[in-house]
Amino acid sequence: MSDYISASQFQAAEGTEDWRVISDGATAYFRTGSFSTGARFAAAVAELEGVDAHPPDIDIRPDGVTVRIVTMAADWMGMSQRDVELARRISALAREHHLVSDPTVVQSLLIIPGAASIGDITPFWRAVLGYEPRIDSPEADLVDPRNRGAAFWFETMDEPRDTAHGGGAIHVGIWVPVGQGEARVAAALAAGGHIVRDDFAPSWWTLADSAGNEADIGTIEGRD
C-alpha cells in the first residue's frame, strides 16, 4: 500500500516543524556558521541507518545547510510517510549538533518557457540543458538529473505573451513557504514591479517588471 500523503498532512505531522513543503518537496535550512560545521552535520545525516534507500538532497554552504526530501515515483512526486520519518530523524540530528532551522529562507526556482505546442520545444531544452523528463510528468517537466539546477515546466500558450501588459521573454516561478508569499509580493512591488494577476492568491501571484518579464510567487496553500 502506498504511503503517499498530502503536503498539509506532512506539515501537520509532529516533528516536522523545521520543514516547509514547497513545489519540489519538504525543505529545511539549518544555520551552521561555518562550512566545516555543515560538513560534519551532512556526514552525520549520511550515517543514518537506511538513509541510502531514501536519500535526501543536501547543499552545504559556509553559513548553512539546506536539506530537501521528496518521494519520486512514476505516478507521484510529493510527500510520503517515510519523508515524515526522515525529517524527524534529521531534525533530531540537527539538535544534537546545536543547529537551528530558519524556515523563512526556504525557496525554490522554476523556469517556465511557453509555446503553442510544448512538444515542439521540449526536445531543444532537454538537449541544451542536459536535463531529463520528470518521472511523474514526462510531457511537461524537465529536471536536472543531478538535482542542481532549477526545474523547467512548459506552459501551453494560445498566443504569444503581450509584452506591453506583462509577459515578456522570461517567466519564472519562485516557490516560498506558506505565509511568506505576501511579504515577497510586497517587496517585489516596492522594487518597481506590478501585479499582472492575483486571482489565485495565495496559491500564486503573477508579477512583472517594467519590461514585462513575469514572475510567479507561489505557495502550496490550496494545492493539496
Q: How far apart are CA 132 and CA 159, in angstroms?
A: 27
| pLDDT for the residue 156 | 85
Contact in structure between 142 and 122 (CB atoms under 8 Å): yes
Strands 137-143 and 204-208: unpaired
- Cβ atoms of 63 and 105 within 8 Å: the answer is no
Cα 44 off chain centre by? 24
Q: How many CB atoms lie within 10 A of CB 124?
A: 11
Q: How many whole angstroms separate alpha carbon 224 and alpha carbon 7?
A: 6
| b/e 167-196 (16+ beta carbons within 10 angstroms → b) | bbeebebbbbbbebbeebbeebeeeebeeb
108-218: which CATH number, 3.40.50.1980, 3.40.50.970, 3.10.180.10, 3.40.50.360? 3.10.180.10
Q: Beta strand 132-134 with 137-143: parallel, antiparallel or unpaired?
A: antiparallel
> In which residue are the cell numbers 503536503 written?
7
CATH architecture group of domain 4-105: 2-Layer Sandwich (3.30)
- What does the pLDDT profile of the chain (224 residues) look like in tens digits? 479 999 999 999 999 999 999 988 999 999 999 999 999 999 999 999 999 999 999 999 999 999 999 998 888 889 999 999 999 999 999 999 999 999 999 999 999 988 888 888 889 899 889 999 999 888 889 999 998 899 999 888 777 666 555 555 678 999 999 999 999 999 999 998 999 999 999 999 999 888 787 899 999 998 86
- Pairing, β 64-69 against β 71-73: unpaired
Specify the pLDDT at position 30.
98
The cell for 3 is: 504511503
Cis peptide before 202 (omega within 30 of 0): yes
Distance between CA 204 and CA 201 in Å, rounded?
A: 5
Q: In this predicted structure, what is the pLDDT of residue 202? A: 95
Domain with CATH 3.10.180.10 in the chain: 108-218
Task: Tell me the C-alpha to C-alpha distance, in Å, between residue 4 and each of 13, 30, 84, 154, 218.
Answer: 13, 26, 11, 26, 22
Query: Which run of H or of E encompasses 92?
Result: helix 81-96
For the chain, give every residue range classified as CATH 3.30.1360.20. 4-105
